[in-house]
């Protein structure tokens, strides 16, 4: 299996924390890339950007996604092991993902559609259980046969 896709409600929340629960996100450096539009919600209003383009530590990502309420419109997050020996680069296609040291690609499109590509099948199953447990809709494992994405960027 390549990954998983599902739909989250179109509302303010901290869904990334729910989705990535049980994943050691602190063990990765994350690259925020592509068209990124996500906002911290303060007093019901969309305020500061949740993410800015560039690298973010797993520790900071954990704080951002678990201690804030936010609204996601479009996000691309790519996880690389902290001890990665090769240069961390933007991953634009599934083939690049396979050939890279990138371990996870998380895409949010149109506020509700999430797609994750994950190399470690154990982590993929954790994400699937999180999605089911949260009651997310249209949960589908992505395989070679049903993968229609041509880009891994928003």
The DSSP call for residue 50 is S
Mean pLDDT, the chain, whole residue set: 92
Integer Cα distance of 142 and 127 in angstroms: 13
pLDDT of residue 87: 64
Give percent above pLDDT 70 in the chain.
95
Is residue 34 pLDDT above 80, yes or no?
no
Residue 151 forms part of a structural domain = no
Nearest 5°: CA angle at 102, between 96 and 105? 85
Number of other CB atoms surrounding residue 126 within 10 Å: 17
Q: Number of folded domains in the chain? A: 1
Say if 147 falls within a structural domain: no
- Predicted TM-score (pTM) of the model is 0.93
Report yes or no on 149 lying in a domain. no
Largest CA distance in the chain: 44
| In a domain? residue 150 | no
Statement: residue 86 has pLDDT above 70: no
Residue 114 lies inside a defined structural domain of this protein: yes
Domain residue limits at 136: 3-142
Q: Considering the domain boundaries, does residue 107 fall inside one?
A: yes
Residue 83 is predicted with a pLDDT of: 77
pLDDT value at residue 125: 98
* Nearest Cα to Cα of residue 150 among 100, 87, 97, 111: 97
In a domain, 136, yes or no: yes
């Amino acid at each position: 299996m390549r990954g998983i896709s599902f739909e989250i409600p179109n509302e303010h929340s901290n869904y990334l924390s729910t989705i990535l629960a049980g994943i050691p996100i602190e063990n990765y450096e994350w690259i925020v890339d592509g068209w990124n539009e996500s906002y911290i919600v303060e007093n019901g209003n969309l305020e500061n950007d949740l993410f800015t383009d560039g690298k973010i530590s797993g520790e900071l990502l954990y704080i951002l996604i678990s201690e804030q309420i936010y609204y996601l419109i479009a996000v691309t997050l790519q996880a690389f092991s902290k001890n990665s020996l090769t240069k961390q680069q933007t991953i634009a296609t599934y083939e690049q993902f396979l050939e890279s040291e990138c371990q996870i690609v998380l895409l949010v499109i149109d506020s509700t559609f999430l797609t994750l590509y994950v190399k470690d099948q154990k982590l993929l199953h954790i994400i699937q259980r999180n999605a089911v447990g949260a009651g997310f809709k249209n949960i589908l494992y992505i395989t070679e046969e049903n993968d229609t994405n041509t880009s891994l960027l928003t």
